[in-house]
Amino acid sequence: MKSYFKYKDENNTECFLELDEELYCERAIYKTKNNLTNTYLTIEHESFFLPEGNLKDSLEFMNYSSKEEFDILWKKSMIRFESNWNKLKMKYKIGEKIKTHILCFYPQGIISNFGEKFNAISNFKACEEKFGKEKMYPNNEMELIISDFDDINKIVQLKTN
């Protein structure tokens, strides 16, 4: 079962976190005075990365939130990208091979860039089996197959075969 927390950082950014059962962050939303973004949209800006590691020791510094609050903010952070997302889904087809470059590793998989405004996600173990452990590092290129379009998270799901 997921749990939800929020806090303000030293820059007065409101941070909303979705944690898994082991208290690792799976998704985060960052609300500044002028912007609302999330960890699936803004990978390159290091202050908006997904927090690393187990957050058990940080819970005392956070407030409880709710799934409902998180989901509302997640949808709001995605609204301005809806048109571009629909264009991307028309441009690419399920089953199509694409070349990607690894951006980072999240608990839910490998986040990679394929030259579009949106990122892709693939299974770490499947990619490691296909490409080898020595190829699992940022900027490495992989050719993968589109398996689905995740409309909630605006991310392209990839598979190895």
Q: What is the pLDDT of residues 99-155, one digit of tens each?
A: 999 988 888 899 999 999 899 999 999 999 999 999 999 999 999 999 999 999 999
Q: How far apart are CA 126 and CA 134, in angstroms?
A: 14
pLDDT digits (tens, 9 = 90+) for 19-50: 999 999 999 999 988 889 888 876 655 566 77
**CA 16 distance to own-chain centroid:** 14
Query: Containing H/E element for 113?
Result: strand 109-113
Asked whether the beta carbons of 144 and 132 are under 8 A apart, the reply is: no
Give the Å distances, CA to CA, from 116 to 9, 11, 51: 30, 29, 24
Question: At which residue do the structure tokens 């997302």 appear?
Answer: 85
Q: What is the mean pLDDT of residues 3-11?
A: 94
Q: How many CB atoms lie within 10 A of CB 146?
A: 19
* Separation CA 158–CA 141 (nearest Å): 14
Would you give the distance in Å from CA 25 to the centre of its chain?
10
Model confidence, pTM: 0.85
